[in-house]
Amino acid sequence: MKTAVIFMIFLGTLAAQEIATAEKAIAIVNGTNASGMLVLGGWALSNMLVSGSSYFATSGEARQFHAMNAMWNLVNFGIAAFGYSAAVNAVPSDKLSDALKQSAEMQNILLLNAGLDVAYIVTGFLLREKGKTSEKYSEILKGYGSSLVLQGSFLLIFDTILYFVHQNNFTEILKMADLSFSLNTINLRIPLN
């Protein structure tokens, strides 16, 4: 009887340790997402303030540059607000696999975003080139193009850094779970410290 009770206490302790490890892992992923959205939101807000006020103080190509910056970052701010809210209000999970899945999904999203960021930059350069030959829309094309190059460059750096942070988180979560793989087996050891 005592052995069964001790074994049940051991299993309960083991399960509680696994839940604590999973909750810590999810907190790492959500904390990274929240921090990233604060950075994006700060970039967006500062762009909206600077370009919003500069729009009225400039003309021509510079005015179009600031118009695009303000519009672009209105969207960025919305994404940041939604992303931050989702990260801080996420329902905690007691499964380590949920943390690994969430981190891997974020890495995939960030890789896709990095590809889009490159497309924004290329489009910006193409608009600038087109602006050189356009008589009627030269200022708009050049201003919008310069804005796309700036915004795409920031987002490429942002998404790349966030990708590597999530990749590091994924590795840390694997270490927390002490997962090891071989060709024939998968071993899982849950640390009790």
Q: How would residue 14 be classed by pLDDT, with cut points 50, 70 and 90?
A: very low
Reading the block at residue 134, the tokens are: 């356009």
Arithmetic mean of pLDDT over the chain: 86
The torsion of the CA quartet 94, 85, 165, 109, rounded to 10 degrees, works out to 90
Taking each helix axis from N to C terminus, what angle separates 138-177 and 60-88, rounded to the nearest 10 degrees?
Answer: 20
Q: How far apart (Å, rounded) are the C-alpha atoms in residues 66 and 139?
A: 12
Q: How far apart (Å, rounded) are the C-alpha atoms in residues 45 and 179?
A: 42
pLDDT of 10 reads 39
Inter-CA distances, 79 with 33, 41, 44, 102, Å: 12, 8, 10, 18
pLDDT digits (tens, 9 = 90+) for 118-154: 999 999 999 999 999 998 999 999 999 999 999 999 9
Task: Please state the domain extents for the chain.
Answer: 2-188
- Estimate to the nearest angstrom the gap between the alpha carbon of 176 and the chain centroid: 22
Q: How far apart (Å, rounded) are the C-alpha atoms in residues 192 and 11?
A: 11
Reading the block at residue 105, the tokens are: 């999904």
Minimal CA–CA distance to 50: which of 82, 35, 72?
72
Taking each helix axis from N to C terminus, what angle separates 2-57 and 96-133, rounded to the nearest 10 degrees?
Answer: 20
Minimal CA–CA distance to 36: which of 76, 95, 94, 89?
76
Q: How would residue 93 be classed by pLDDT, with cut points 50, 70 and 90?
A: confident
pLDDT digits (tens, 9 = 90+) for 68-92: 999 999 999 999 999 999 999 988 7
